[in-house]
Structure 1
Amino acid sequence: MDHALVAFYSGDDEDDRIQGSHASGVVEFIRVQRLLRARLHPASRILDVGGATGVHSRWLAADGHHVTLLDPVPSQVARAAEVGTFEALVGDARRLPLGPASVDAVLLFGPLYHLIRREDRVQALAEAARVLRPGGLLFAQGITRLAAIATDAAAVGYDQLSDPVWDLARTGEWASTDGGFPGGHFHTVAELRDEVAQAGCVVESVHGLEGPQAGALELLDADDELVGTAVALAERVEELLEGSPRADTVAEYSPHVMAVARRVLD
C-alpha cells in the first residue's frame, strides 16, 4: 500500500471535486454519465475500481445496476459503505478479489493515475479484463500530460516551468515532493490505447472528458448554462473529429481521457 496515496486521499473529497462548484469537475461527471449510460445494459454487474466514496457507484446503483466498489483507502471505503446501495471493499486494482468473467463492466477511474510503473498499470488493466465477461466493457481513465503542462504554463509561463514539469512532458512520471498530489503517471492517448490493448481488450473509442475548453473550465464556477454548453461542445468536437487522426491529439487537451474497450471474445 502506498502510504502517500492513502494519506492524500484520506483528506481528499472526490465528491466536491467532481460535483462541487468548479465547472471542470461537473462537466467531467456529466460526460462520464452520458458515455456510460449510452453503453451499459440494464441491471449490469459493475466493478468500480478506485471508486473512492462512491461518486459514480451511487448513480449507477440508482440506475438499477449491481455495483461493487473497490478502493485502497479505508476511510473512503467506509464513507462509501454508508450509502448502502452497493458493496464497498478495500482492495488493490492489481489484485481484484473477484472470479474470472464475473462482471459486465469495470470502471478504472483513478488507479492508472497512481501506478508509476507500466507493468503495474498493465497488470491492473489485465485484472480488469480477467474479471470481465467475454465482450464486457472496460472504462479506463488516464490524466494527460498535455493538459497538465498547459495548466502550469498558463499560470507561470513556459519559460518558468520547473524541471519536474519538463520531466513529466518527457516521461509522464510525477514524483510529489511537497505532500500534494501523490506520485503518479500522466498518459498520452497513444500510450493509454497501447496499455489497454496489451491487457487483452479492444479499444473502441477514447474521449477527452472536459473537452478542448478544459483550461477555461478550471477557472470558472459551474452554472447550468456553462456546463450544458461545455458538454455540448465536447460532444460536438468528438462528432466532427470522429475517424480523424487529429481526434486523439484534441482529446489530450482534456485533463481526463477515457478509453472505452471490450474484453476480447473467447
Structure 2
Amino acid sequence: MDQRTLDARIQRYYGGHFDEAARLTTGAVGRAELARVRELVATRLEPGSRVLDVGGGAGVHATWLAAAGHAVTLVDPVPSHVEAARTVGTFAAEVGDARALTAADGAFDAVLLAGPLYHLVTREDRLLALREAARVLRPGGHVFTVVISRTMAALDVVLRRRFTDLPGQALVRLLETGDVTDEIRNPEGEFPGGHFHTADELADELAAAGFRDPWVTGVEGPGSLALELSRPHDDAVEAALLLARQAEGDREAADVSSHLLGIATR
C-alpha cells in the first residue's frame, strides 16, 4: 500500500472506527502499555521539561505528562483527536504530520513518538520523522518512540486465521522485512497497518537518523500474548508488568512484546 492510501485509511480508522484512548485505559494490553511507557519515560525527564507528543491521539500521554508538571504540545494528523485533546485544557494541541513538524529547531527537551513509525511504510519516511524529532530537540534531549513488534504482528495473523489457510510466503515476508502484503492486511475498519519492527531494526533506524546511544526494550514484555487473551484483570496486568521489568533491555525478549520502545539521545 502506498503512503497516501494508508494516510486516508488512518483518518477513517482513528477518526471513526477506533477509540485509541479507550484502548490504552481499559484493555489489558493497553493498560500495560500505558503503565510501562509512563514509567520508562517519566524517569528520564527533568522536572518541567518541554515535551512534544507526536501522534498523541486524544491526549492520553499528554495528560499525565502535563499533570507531572511538563510543558506539553501534542501533534496528531486526525482532527477529531486534536479536538478531543484540546478539551483537556492542560496542554497545547495541533493538527500536524510527524514528517513535517512546525516547531522550531531545538524547541523541546523530549519528543514522544508513540505511533507514527508504525504507520509509515518506507524506511525513508520513518527516518524523515525521526530526523524531524531530532531537529526540534535540544542537544542532549531524548526521543521516545513506540513501534509494533513484527513477531507479534505475525502471530496475530496466525491466531485470527485459527491456524488454517495461512499465507506462508506473506508471513515469511512480514517476519523478514516488516512489510504487510494484501494477503494478510486487515480488512477495512480494522488496524490500518504500515510497518512492523524488530528491536534491532528500531535501534538501527534511530542511529541512522543521527541519534546517540539507542536503547530498545519491550513495552508489555514477554507476557504480551497472555494479556491479549485475558480480561483486563488487575492481577494479570501486574504480572505482565513484573515480567516486562525483569526482561527490560533484553532485545530478544523485546521482540515477543506487543510493542517496543526505543530511547535515544540527540
Letter in 1 for 2:179: E
Q: Name the counterpart of 2:195.
A: 185
**8 A Cα contact 1:100 1:133, kept in partner:** yes
Please name the residue that 2:230 is paired with: 220
For the residue of structure 2 that corresponds to 1:97, the secondary structure is coil
Match of 1:229 in 2: 239
Aligned to 2:136: 131
The equivalent residue for 1:94 is: 99
1:8 is matched with 13
Mapped partners of 1:224, 1:178: distance in 2 = 32
Report deviation, 1:58. Answer: 0.4
CA distance in 1, matches of 2:131, 2:243: 33
Shift of 1:224: 2.2
Residues 39-58 of structure 1: pairs in structure 2 closer than 5 A: 39-58=44-63
Secondary structure class of the residue paired with 2:60: coil
Question: Which of 85, 88, 92 is matched with 1:83 structurally?
Answer: 88
2:221 maps to 1:211? yes
Question: What SS class does the counterpart of residue 250 from structure 1 fall into?
Answer: helix
CA RMSD of aligned residues (A): 1.6
What is the CA-CA distance between 1:160 and the residue it aligns to?
A: 3.6
Post-superposition shift, 1:158?
A: 5.3
Amino acid in the other structure paired with 1:249: E
Deviation per CA, 1:157-214, whole angstroms, max 9, x where unpaired? Answer: 6564225433322321225462122140001111111111111111342110111111
In 2, Cα distance between the equivalents of 1:158 and 1:189? 26
Task: Report the CA distance between 1:42 and its aligned residue.
Answer: 0.5
Question: Which amino acid in 1 is paired with 2:171?
Answer: V
Q: 2:251 aligns with which of 242, 248, 251?
A: 248
Question: 1:10–1:75: 8 Å Cα contact kept in structure 2?
Answer: yes
Contact 1:210 1:231 in 2 (8 A): yes
Identify unmatched segments of 5+ residues in structure 2. none
Deviation at 1:261, TM superposition (A): 0.5
Counterpart-to-counterpart distance in 2, 1:89 and 1:107: 15
Structure 2 distance, partners of 1:208, 1:171, is 19
SS at match of 1:260: strand
AA of the residue aligned to 2:71: H
Deviations 1:146-167 (A, max 9, x none): 1111233345465642254333
Q: Where do residues 100-119 of structure 1 align in structure 2 (5 Å cutoff)?
A: 100-119=105-124
Q: Which amino acid aligns with 1:126?
A: R
Please tell me the residue identity of whatever aligns with 1:121: R
> In structure 1, what is the Cα distance between the partners aligned to 2:158 and 2:209?
34
Q: Is the 8 A contact 1:203 1:259 kept in 2?
A: no
Secondary structure of the structure 2 residue equivalent to 1:140: strand
Residues 6-51 of structure 1, C-alpha deviations (whole Å, 9 max, x = no match): 111102211111111x211111110011111111111100000000
Q: Does 1:165 pair with 2:171?
A: yes
Which residue pairs with 1:18 in the alignment? 24
Letter in 1 for 2:85: A
Matched residue SS, 1:136: strand
**Alpha-carbon distance between aligned partners in 2 of 1:262 and 1:104, rounded to the nearest angstrom:** 10
- SS of equivalent residue, structure 1 residue 106: strand
Is 1:258–2:261 an aligned residue pair? yes
Is 1:213–1:230's contact at 8 Å kept on the other side of the alignment?
A: yes
How many angstroms apart in 1 are the aligned matches of 2:125 and 2:214?
A: 23
When residues 169 and 231 of structure 1 are mapped into structure 2, their CA distance, relative to the original with a 3 A threshold, is same
1:232 CA drift (Å):
1.4
Task: State the match for 1:196 in structure 2.
Answer: 206
